[in-house]
Amino acid sequence: MIWVLLLGAGGASIGIALGALGGPFSPRLDVFSHFIPFFLLGVLGAAVVLFLRPNRFEAVGAMGILALGLLSAGCVILPTLFYEQVTARHLDPAAQIKVIQFNALDGNRRGPVAVAWLKAQDADIVVLEEAPDIGRYMPGLGYVASCGNCGAVIFSKRRPHWQNGPTWDWMVRRHVAAASFRDGRGAYTVLGVHRGRPTRFDRTAQEMRALAAMAARFHRESLILVGDFNSTPWSATRRREEATLGLVRQTRAVPTWPAEAVSHNRLGFPFPVLPIDHVYAGRDWATVKVERGPTMGSDHYPVVVTLQRVRNLAPTAPAKTP
């Protein structure tokens, strides 16, 4: 009887993964695509259990489940993992910028741990979502805030020459935080976002329009886009927006959720499964290093990306911070 249940579970997982292929045609089907790794784990579990049983028919069924599961999931996931990133011919620390993306969780009870880690990282740019608890420590670390009442707050070591404030004006709510800089790396703009859950279709569409409009105001090749997108690279929604923006996903598919079992996340999973926190950059930037940070009281892991300016680099030395 157990193999019948496992076969049914495996079949259901395959069906959901196949249904996710309809994501480009239906936002509701696209929701399933985000969770394909979880479905794939179910397929693998069913296949392993069936394969270990002595019955040859069950073993053959296990291999069939595994093959179909891998094929259906692979058709959705694999195309998003292989693309050409910009590479630097040689490393130039003076042309590099270190960026951190972290949904810090409003109500984070491990604030001192997170602040100590951020201090040790000494990044040029830190983009925080759900920032109030951790964000209040950032000025003490030498950072200035841009767009305090945005879903994402950009903290920078250098004061931007332009930002889309008003900072901390709680009567104004913005979908995109933006800050422009000019220094030894040239001119560039950082955008920060915090997307809602993928089931909020109208809100997601509105946020996508707001980001496209903001990004269009700047030189695309020098843009850096950072945020908690609450969507995986293989979802049709994410692929569609990436095609519109024309930016390179630097994080490729680094899993960042779930981390600790806090907030609405009660999974307590032993390792992250879904890559939903992303860093993008235009082709003026090359990828130097991409790392995932530790757990720090949030249901998201932070990601640390080091970029190097390889085109349109400023010929002069970095200006002093005002």
DSSP result, 239-254: HHHHHHHT-EETTTT-
Residue 280 forms part of a structural domain: yes
- Structure-model confidence comparison of residues 173 and 127, the more confident one: 127
Q: Choose the final residue of a domain: 12, 47, 80.
A: 80
Residue 320 forms part of a structural domain: no
Based on the domain organization, do 116 and 218 belong to the same domain?
A: yes
Q: Which residues contact 322 (CB under 8 A, 6 or more apart)?
A: 159
pLDDT exceeds 50 at position 196: yes
Residue 262 forms part of a structural domain: yes
pLDDT for res 104: 95
Based on the domain organization, do 152 and 277 belong to the same domain?
A: yes
DSSP result, 9-38: HHHHHHHHHHHHTTTTT-HHHHHHHHTHHH
DSSP result, 209-222: HHHHHHHTTS-GGG
Based on the domain organization, do 179 and 269 belong to the same domain?
A: yes
Cα–Cα nearest to 41, from 232, 274, 275: 274
Cα–Cα nearest to 187, from 92, 309, 100: 309
Contact 298, 262 (CB under 8 A): yes
pLDDT exceeds 90 at position 12: no
Structure tokens at 145: 């805030």
Based on the domain organization, do 253 and 154 belong to the same domain?
A: yes
Mean pLDDT of the chain: 85
H-run or E-run covering 61: helix 56-77
pTM above 0.75, yes or no: yes
pLDDT for res 48: 72
Residue 44 forms part of a structural domain: yes
H-run or E-run covering 226: strand 223-228
Residue 277 forms part of a structural domain: yes
Q: How far apart are CA 203 and CA 265, in angstroms?
A: 21
Based on the domain organization, do 30 and 128 belong to the same domain?
A: no
Looking at the chain, the whole-number percentage of residues with pLDDT higher than 70 is 80
**Cα 274 from chain centroid (whole Å):** 9
Band of residue 249 on the pLDDT scale cut at 50, 70, 90: very high
pLDDT in tens, 137-177: 999 999 999 887 788 999 999 999 999 876 655 555 678 99
pLDDT for res 33: 83
pLDDT for res 320: 46
Q: How far apart are CA 305 and CA 288, in angstroms?
A: 8
pLDDT in tens, 66-119: 677 677 677 778 878 777 888 888 999 999 999 999 999 988 989 999 999 999
Based on the domain organization, do 71 and 124 belong to the same domain?
A: no
Q: How far apart are CA 30 and CA 33, in angstroms?
A: 5
Q: Which domain holds residue 31?
A: 2-80
**Strand positions, DSSP E, 60-210:** 96-103, 125-129, 144-146, 152-156, 162-163, 176-183, 186-194
Based on the domain organization, do 72 and 120 belong to the same domain?
A: no
Residue 286 forms part of a structural domain: yes
Structure tokens at 101: 């993306």
228 backbone φψ class: left, alpha, beta (φ>0; ψ -120 to 50): beta
177: domain CATH number is 3.60.10.10
What are the angstrom distances between the C-alpha of 144 and each of 90, 118, 126, 168? 31, 14, 10, 12
Q: Choose the final residue of a domain: 80, 107, 138.
A: 80
CA angle 193, 244, 71 (to 5 degrees): 95
